[in-house]
A = this chain, B = another copy of it.
Amino acid sequence: MKQFWSERIKDLVPYTPGEQPKDRVFIKLNTNENPYPPSPKVLKAIEDAAGEGLRLYPDPEATALRQAIAEYHGLKPEQVFCGNGSDEVLGLCFYAFFTPGKKVVFPDITYSFYPVYTQLFGLDYEEIPLNEDFTLPVEKFLGSNGGAVICNPNAPTGRTLPLTDIRRILDANPDVVVLVDEAYADFGAQSAVELISEYPNLVVVCTMSKSRSLAGMRIGYALGNADLIAGVNCVKNSFNSYPLDRLALAAGEAAIRDVEYFECTRNSIMQTRERTTVHLRELGFRVHDSNANFIFIAHPAKSGKELQQGLRDRGVLVRWFNKPRIDQYLRVSIGTDADMERMCAACEEILKG
């Protein structure tokens, strides 16, 4: 029954997020959350902000948060846009920069929200097949197009594109926006933020959901030339003046300023990732090198679906995508050492069974 739906949404196929079990009995390695709690300074900042002031609207320009993010990245506040999670930021960027009739390009295997935005906003797009080993065929992104979107490190493969290749893509697309989604870059990839001063067509999108342990607070941001950021603001201000509530603004600012906690937790995750990679390879898994807070794994003896179900039966949630080319793989978020040991033990059990 879609009697009252607008014509243009009747065929929309929305994005499906990973499962959020209501009672946490699982080891939850299915949505790339951080296993460590947010910084104590973040919790303190929320506590301080959670009072009478909540009756007032938040700062629609997120001034203090943008200032803190700008300082962290060595940019100016007018080069920073803040939104309700990087999903909203990405959506607003797609609307701000891409024009119907001009094909936006992105890989066939990448964050599956990209084609959803293009459908929602009536944009044309082309999915460029990744190489067999899931590396990006850079030359296919050099042609003329209406914009390019690159998740780096890529999800769900974890593969990273070096900055030299990002540069080639930016150079070859001087008249359109190249959007680099760095949701996972804090876990070991080289960021493209340093190229912003050189390229007026570069937008980098970041999130506090992963490396800042704040998935529950919905804080994302875009970085780029001030003219590009003004474009995202124009769309945001035509849709929702205040996408970040007062507690999210306070939490985000405290998180970005607590560099020490950030370094400590992301290093732990990277170390656990390396240990887990070694362990799983010993069990016969194919594990791609990853610069993200997840690994992409497959095993010759068991299908992706069987592995996912076996892990679920043993109390471990991981993500399996029922899609061509990757349906033998699992995307496994990096938890604590203890989480990953239990996950590896469960894999061992499944492989013996």
- Chain A residues at the B interface, C-beta cutoff of 8 Å: 1-9, 12-17, 20, 22, 24, 28, 31, 33-38, 42-43, 46-47, 50-60, 63, 84-85, 87-88, 91, 95-100, 116-117, 119-120, 176-177, 200-201, 209, 213-218, 227-228, 231, 233-248, 251
Contact = CB atoms under 8 A, between A and B. Distances in A.
Given A6-B96, A239-B88, A54 B216 contact: yes
Contacts of A91: 239-240
15 contacts: A4-B227, A5-B97, A9-B96, A9-B238, A14-B238, A17-B57, A20-B58, A22-B59, A37-B55, A54-B251, A55-B215, A85-B242, A88-B243, A216-B245, A216-B247
B231 A4 contact: yes
Highest count of chain B CB atoms <10 Å: which of A31, A117, A233, A242: A242
Contact of A54 (B12, B28, B37): B37
Nearest to A251: B54
B243 A53 contact: no
Contact of A245 (B3, B55, B218, B233): B218
A227 B55 CA distance: 33
Per DSSP, chain A at the interface is loop
Nearest to A247: B247
Nearest to A89: B240
B217 A247 contact: yes
A220 B116 CA distance: 24
A99 B8 contact: yes
A110 to B, nearest CB: 17
Contacts of A58: 20, 215-216, 218
User: Across chains A and B, which 6 residue pairs bring their CB atoms closest together, nearest first?
Assistant: A14-B237, A216-B246, A54-B216, A37-B52, A55-B213, A120-B238
A316 to B, nearest CB: 16
Nearest to A34: B55
Q: Which of A3, A63, A87, A176 has the most CB of B within 10 A?
A: A3
B54 A234 contact: no
Nearest to A43: B50
Contacts of A228: 4
Contacts of A8: 99-100
A293 B264 CA distance: 49
Given A17-B242, A55-B215, A231 B5 contact: yes
Nearest to A122: B122
